[in-house]
Structures are given as C-alpha cells and as structure tokens.
Amino acid sequence: MATIHLEQVGHSYGSAVYALEKTDILFEDGKTYALLGPSGCGKTTMLNVISGLLYPSDGRVIVGGKDVTRMPTAKRNIAQVFQFPVIYQSKTVYENLAFPLRCRGWDKARIAPRVAEIAELLGLTARLGQSARRLTADEKQLVSLGRGLVRNDVSALLMDEPLTVIDPHMKFDLRRRIKQASDKTRHTVVYVTHDQNEAMTFADEVLVMSAGRVVQRGTPQQLFESPCNRYVGNFIGSPGMNFLSVERDGDRLLWQGFPVFSDERVGRLAPGAELMVGIRPEHVAFAKDGVTGIPAVVQGVQHHGNVDVIDAVIGSERLKVKARSSLAVRDGPLRIVLPVERTRLYVDGTLLF
C-alpha cells in the first residue's frame, strides 16, 4: 500500500491539446477513489500514467515517496484490472491466481495458502480446479482481480471500467465482492468508471472529470449535496439537480415571483451576476395543508418502481420532483416547497453557498 502523488502531471498525445491537463492530486494510502466522467474526459489517461503504460508529458508520478515517472510498469508494483478480463484461458483458476507468485519465485508451500485466501475472499474456492475457459464473464473478471490481489508487494490497485462487459444483473454482486476485497486488503484503489452509481457506491472519494480536468473532488455525499457547478450537478444524480433562474430582491431571491431564499449575503452580491438556485429532485417537497406553496402543474409522471419522477412546470420553467409512488401524483395542479436547507445558490454557474 502507498500514497500516489501526481505532481503537476499533464499528458498530450502529440498535439497542443492536453488529454489530461496539468494537475496536482494526492491519493491517500489505503483509500478507494473513483475517477468519474464521460468518455474522453481523461480518466483512463490518468490511470495509465499512474500504472506506467503512459509516461506523462509533464510532471512527476510519486508512489510511496518514490519518483516512478520514467519507471516501467513491471517495476512499479502496481496491479491493474482492465475492462476486458486478462487471464490465461488454457489454465485453471488456481494456475491463473498462482502465476504472478510463481513469476516472483514463491515456492509451492507459500503459494497454496495465499491462493486459497484470495479465492475465499472472492468466492472462487469452488472454481479453483476449473478451466478459466469455462467461467462466466463476471467470474473471469474476479480472477483478473484476484491476480492483482494475490501479490503481497502491490502498492496500489487500478481498475479501468471493470464492470462494463458484465451483464446488468451480475453487476451488483460483482461490485459487492470487489468492494469487500478492497476493504479487507486496504490497497490504495483508483477505479475508473462513467457510471455514477458505481462511483458513488464504491469509492471513499470521487473525482469528477471533464475535458481533461478534475472539476470536483469529494465524498459521494458532498458531490450529491453540494455540487460545485452545473456540470457536476447535472452529472451526479438521476435525474440531475434542478437549476432555476432567480432574481434578487434585496436580501431575497425570487423564483417566478415567489420568494425561495433569504440571506444577508445575497444583498452583497455584485450586480449583473447570473443567479440560480439548485435543488435535487429528491429534496423538492409538496406543500402540506395550511402551508403556502408555489403553484405548479404536473405534466408527466415516470414510474420507477417505488419512486416516481414528476415533470412539473412553474411559469416559464420546468423542474423534476422525485416522490414515493404511493403518493400517486397525477397530471394537474399542485403546490411545491423548496426547503431552504436543501437549496444551493450558484453565481455565474459556480456554487456560492
């Protein structure tokens, strides 16, 4: 296990445009991180720079306090799990797990208990004597993961979209097994994904990326509750955060003429700034009897099991509302409330408070 420090690291594939903008990032020892973003945002480039599959155009890669920037992958003691499982089809599961240890000169007496330990951790004990060719896709990916975990000299474990080729109904179980394994071994883990559900359920911290830059870094709760800008607010959540244009009236903010926010800091804002409030669909509430709410019109309801996503219109703007399906919301008028403690203020697209 080791810390990983990207010291002003940037990378360009031979052009003036950087696939990974110069950045300074510290991955702490024993924590699990997710690099989250759409295709082409630079997350795999960052992962390959850490592993040594790419040498960065700028900066240094420090692993465990040692400069490994120009060190080949084999000497970095870093394990990497790819999108497609990397295993030997002609070997048994046992032979696949034992192979990295044999390459390092371990004797049979040491190899057997270590392989048994990792197989037990990943639920592969019953498959040890089986040919890898006969495994399912998720089992092959577990073997690929096990080949990295079986080594005791691994400083970090890197995973590049390991669940992309896995059937949806298998993903939950495989994600659980990977999480349990990483929690037990306490490797420093960097996990690349474009799936926010994977990132938010797997990682201690998530780094949201766009156009080669880390836009925001934080715990899943921080990213959900207080996205730093509209990009993160829209990318995290399903559906994403509602962003509503507001006008200033002294210390108050008005949305479609209705007061939604009041704070003395509002009165100190520079004139001419674009003001918006953001609120998650989960946090929009319905006005209870006797409570004055904002009049809205429901124009559609999407059913998602025990949750409904409601499309509402207020004046010239629309917003999404998430509510329990047991409420049986129908098209037509209703009144909503935007809880102040759940509402965020954005000035020129950036979170203020």
* Number of neighbouring beta carbons within 10 Å of residue 225: 14
Which residue is it, tokens 């156009």?
211
- Average pLDDT (89-110) is 94
What are the structure tokens assigned to 151, written together? 């080594």
- Average pLDDT (23-51) is 96
**For 105-138, how does the pLDDT look when each residue is reduced to its tens digit (9 = 90+)?**
999 999 999 999 999 988 899 999 999 999 988 8
Question: What is the per-residue burial (b if ≥16 Cβ within 10 Å, else e) of 271-291?
Answer: eeeebbbbbbbbbbbbeeeee
How confident is the model at residue 1, as a pLDDT? 66
Which domains does the chain carry?
4-235 (3.40.50.300), 242-351 (2.40.50.140)
d(CA 43, CA 36): 7
**For 163-211, how does the pLDDT look when each residue is reduced to its tens digit (9 = 90+)?**
887 777 778 877 887 788 778 878 899 999 999 999 999 899 999 999 9
- Average pLDDT (251-266) is 90
d(CA 66, CA 62): 5
Q: For residues 2 and 158, is the Cβ–Cβ distance under 8 A?
A: no
Q: For residues 154 and 64, is the Cβ–Cβ distance under 8 A?
A: no
Percentage of the chain beyond pLDDT 70 is 100
d(CA 295, CA 192): 43
d(CA 85, CA 161): 11
**Beta strands 350-351; 317-324: pairing state:** unpaired
